[in-house]
Structure 1
Amino acid sequence: MQATRRPTSTMASTISDAAPALDILIVVASLSGNTRELGRMIAGRCRQAGHAVHWQEADEADAVPPLQADAADLLLLGSWTDNGGRTPAEMKAWVARLAGSGHQPLHVAVFGTGETQWGAEYYGGAVHRLRRYFHSPHPPLLIEQMPHGDAHATAIAAWTDAVLDNHGNQMHADHRRHHA
C-alpha cells in the first residue's frame, strides 16, 4: 500500500497564520548621512515584509510626528555616536520630548553607525545608551560608517528580520499574558 503525502501547508493556513502589518516608527539622528542610509535600508526591509513605516528625523523638533511613539507597534531608533561615545544632542532632545509627552513606547530596537577610529571603547556608545534607556530586548545593529556591500546588506536584513520576528513573539506572549 502506497502512502500518500499530505501537503505541509495550504493557502488557508498560510493566510490565517500571517502576522498583522505593524505600524513602525523610525526616528533617525544622522550627521553625515550614514545612519540615515542605514535607516532607509531598514525601512525598505520593513516595507518588503508588508509593514507601514513612518519616518521622523530627530532634529525636526517642530514637525508634527507622523505617528506618536506610543501608538507605534514598534519604534526603531537610529543614531550616530558623538564625541567620546555620547548620544548626539538632537537624539537626546527627541528622547526628552518623548519623556515629557508622557508617551511610553512598548517595543523599541536601536541601530546606528559609528567609527572605531575614535576608539573601540566609544564605538556605538549612543546606540548602547539608547538601548539601555528603553530597556530594549533586541541586540543593537551597529555598522561602521556608511552601510555598503553584500555583508552589510545581509547583516541589516538579518537584524531587521530578527527584530520583526521577535516583536511578533513578544506580541503573542503579551496577548497570552493579558488574556489568560
Structure 2
Amino acid sequence: MNILIAYATYSGNTKEAAELIADCLEEAGHAVGFHWIGGEPVPDVSGYDALILGSFTWAEGSVPEEVKDFILDVGYKPPNTFIFGTGDTQFGLFCRAAVKLARFYESPLPPLKIEQSPRGGQEEAVREWTHHVVERLVCGSAIAD
C-alpha cells in the first residue's frame, strides 16, 4: 500500500512520531510519502491508499490553523484516515486536536496520543498503533467499519 503521512510540527516531536510511524510501515512493506504541513505544497492525497495525519494541539485544545488549511486544500475527507497527535499532559486538553481530527475524519481507530517525544517509553505504543493501522488496511476493515 501507498500511505501518506502528513504532519504539522513546531518543536519536532510530531515529525519524530511521523518518522517512527513511517519506519514501522516500511518494515511492513508499505510505501510511505511525507508531507510537512505548512512547509510544502499540498500533495494529491487521492494518489494514496491511506492518510495518516499528525498534529500538535494548539492553545486551548485547538487544531492548528495550518492543519485546518491543509484540510481545506485537500478538499474532501479521504477514506482510511488515521490520526496521531503530540502534546504535553501538563495541559488539561492533552492531544485534544488529535481527538477532534479523529472525530472529523471518522477515523476507524482512536487517535494515537504521544506525550512530547515518541522515543523511549512510547515507541512500543507507536508500533502497536501502527500495527493496528496496517491490520485495518490489509484486512479491508477500515473501509467496512
Kindly tell me: are residues 86 and 104 of structure 1, through their superposed partners in 2, closer, same or farther at Cα, counting changes over 3 Å? closer
Residues 1:154 and 2:115 aligned together: no
**1:107·1:167 contact (CA, 8 Å) conserved in 2?**
yes
Runs of 4+ in 1 over 3 A off after TM superposition: 171-174
Larger radius of gyration: 1
User: Helix, strand or coil for the counterpart of 1:116?
Assistant: coil
Deviation at 1:170, TM superposition (A): 2.2
RMSD: 1.7
Kindly tell me: are residues 173 and 133 of structure 1, through their superposed partners in 2, closer, same or farther at Cα, counting changes over 3 Å? closer
Correspondence for 1:14: none
Within 5 A, what are the aligned runs for 1:79-94?
79-94=55-70
Q: Give the TM-score taking structure 2 as reference length.
A: 0.92
Within 5 A, what are the aligned runs for 1:169-180?
169-170=139-140
d(CA) in 2 for partners of 1:60, 1:129 = 22
Q: RCO greater where, 1 or 2, for CA within 8 Å and sep 6 or more? A: 2
Within 5 A, what are the aligned runs for 1:52-131?
52-60=31-39, 63=41, 65=43, 68-99=44-75, 103-119=76-92, 122-131=93-102
Kindly tell me: are residues 159 and 96 of structure 1, through their superposed partners in 2, closer, same or farther at Cα, counting changes over 3 Å? same
Deviation at 1:98, TM superposition (A): 1.1
Amino acid at match of 1:166: R
d(CA) in 2 for partners of 1:27, 1:173 = 20
Q: 1:132 aligns with which of 93, 100, 103?
A: 103
**Unaligned runs of at least 5 residues, structure 1:** 1-21, 175-180
How much identity, in percent, do the aligned residues show?
37
Correspondence for 1:48: 27
Q: Give the TM-score taking structure 1 as reference length.
A: 0.75
Matched residue count: 144
Within 5 A, what are the aligned runs for 1:1-40?
22-40=1-19
